Amino acid sequence: MAGVCVSAHTNNILVDSSKPNTGTFAIETDHAVKLARHQTGWMTWNRTSLNLAWLGFSDLHSGVDHYLVTIGSREFGTDYNTGTLPEKVFHSDSGVNKGDEGVLQRFTVHTRTLPSSGSVFVAIWGVNGVGLQVMPTTLNWS
């Protein structure tokens, strides 16, 4: 009755409090199931780039929006990354579908000059549509 009432209408609001599921690098395995993950050109490297492939990251509620990748001389290091740290890679729904492991993600990450010997540590983690991050998956590339 005072004339100060206000009403408003908003778009839908997405609430998701669950983190995405952790995936893995798509590498050749010697496990009992012998998943045919490895293909020519995947998971290779040269002195200035890594050709990475991964799968299995998923989020039932808001989907995986993007991935973050670090490359360094130690775990979770970024000293071999170029540009933005960590590097942001957007999720793609096109590509090879590996059934319950999802669509294979492939990306070439350009790096600073990698050492000719020693180890290179790669970490990747997914971020869902509301910004929640999964625990990173790591790889020690020697």
Query: What was the pLDDT predicted at 31?
Result: 58
Q: Above 80 in pLDDT, residue 32?
A: no
Give the count of domains, the chain: 1
Q: What is the pTM of this model?
A: 0.81
Q: Above 60 in pLDDT, residue 33?
A: no
In a domain, 6, yes or no: no
Query: What was the pLDDT predicted at 87?
Result: 92
Can you tell me whether residue 85 is helix, strand or coil?
A: coil
Query: What was the pLDDT predicted at 88?
Result: 94
Residue 76 parent element (H or E): none
Q: Which residue spans within the chain are E strands per DSSP? A: 24-25, 44-46, 49-55, 64-72, 87-90, 105-110, 120-128, 137-141
Average pLDDT value over all residues in the chain: 85
In a domain, 10, yes or no: no
In a domain, 35, yes or no: yes
Of 71, 65, 66, which is closest to residue 83 (Cα–Cα)? 71
Q: Provide the residue range defining the domain that includes 99.
A: 24-141
Query: What was the pLDDT predicted at 21?
Result: 87
In a domain, 12, yes or no: no
Distance CA 131, CA 104 (A): 21
Tell me if 50 sits within 8 A of 109, measured CB to CB: yes
In a domain, 1, yes or no: no
Give Cα separations from 112 to 47, 48, 87, 94, 107 (angstroms).
8, 6, 13, 29, 16
Mean of pLDDT values over 68-81:
94
The values of phi and psi at residue 121, to 5°, are: -100, 125
Distance CA 76, CA 70 (A): 6
In a domain, 36, yes or no: yes
Mean pLDDT lowest among 49-53, 60-64, 73-77, 86-90: 60-64
